[in-house]
């Protein structure tokens, strides 16, 4: 990967190359959990934690297990197993250590197992040949961008519930139109930094 400054990597991952609005990863939770801002913040926090942890573990597995033993063809299945295991481990630990936090995030943790954005970032950092520090910065920035898009979208959807949306556009149709407009708004950041 070309050496990008950490600032360019962060801004590029959050705004320019947003995981939901530009790469179309994580669409299911984006549409499903974005009905209110509180749920969106909870999901975003859970995704941030799991994405950072998953990227760290999968990066180390790739560099020190899959590459040395020429098992790179097992990358996707190994990553899926690691992410599912990490989510289950985090769920068990939170249930024991912080029951209040578990109650808040408990609904969102199983959803993260099937969030393709987590798997996508783990694969992208290898494809882009990032080092460990760049991978962690990129994963955190992607998660922040995911949360930002989710919260903005949830706020817009909450506002639309209070307005007069035509009957044929209520629900999913207006949500998809709104997501498209939001994606175009994020495209405006395209010339600020190079796309990571």
What is the mean pLDDT of each successive set of 10 residues along the chain, which is 196 residues long?
A: 76 91 88 83 86 96 96 95 88 82 73 85 95 96 96 93 87 90 89 67
Q: Return the closest-CA partner of residue 139 out of 83, 188, 64.
A: 83
Residue 131 sits at φ, ψ, to 5 deg, of -85, 180
Instruction: Write down the pLDDT at residue 73.
Output: 96
pLDDT for the residue numbered 110: 77
Check: pTM over 0.85? Answer yes or no.
Answer: yes
CA gap 80, 82 in Å, rounded: 5
> What's the pLDDT at 196?
58
Q: Are the CB atoms for 154 and 43 separated by under 8 Å?
A: no
The per-residue pLDDT for 165 is 86
């Amino acid at each position: 990967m070309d050496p990008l400054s950490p600032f360019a990597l962060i801004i590029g991952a959050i705004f320019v190359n947003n995981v939901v609005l530009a790469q179309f990863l994580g669409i299911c939770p984006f549409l499903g959990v974005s009905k209110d801002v509180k749920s969106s913040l909870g999901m975003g926090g859970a995704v941030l934690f799991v994405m950072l942890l998953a990227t760290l573990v999968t990066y180390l597995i790739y560099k020190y297990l899959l590459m040395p033993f020429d098992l790179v063809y097992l990358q996707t299945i190994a990553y899926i197993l690691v992410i599912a295991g990490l989510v289950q481990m985090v769920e068990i630990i939170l249930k024991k250590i912080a029951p209040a936090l578990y109650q808040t995030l408990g609904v969102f943790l199983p959803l993260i197992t099937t969030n393709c954005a987590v798997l996508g970032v783990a694969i992208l950092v290898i494809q882009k040949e990032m080092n460990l520090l760049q991978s962690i910065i990129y994963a955190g920035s992607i998660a922040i961008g995911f949360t930002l898009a989710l919260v903005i979208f949830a706020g817009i959807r909450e506002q639309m519930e209070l307005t007069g949306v035509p009957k044929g556009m209520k629900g999913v149709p207006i949500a998809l139109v709104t997501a498209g407009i939001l994606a175009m708004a994020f495209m405006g950041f395209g010339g600020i930094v190079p796309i990571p």
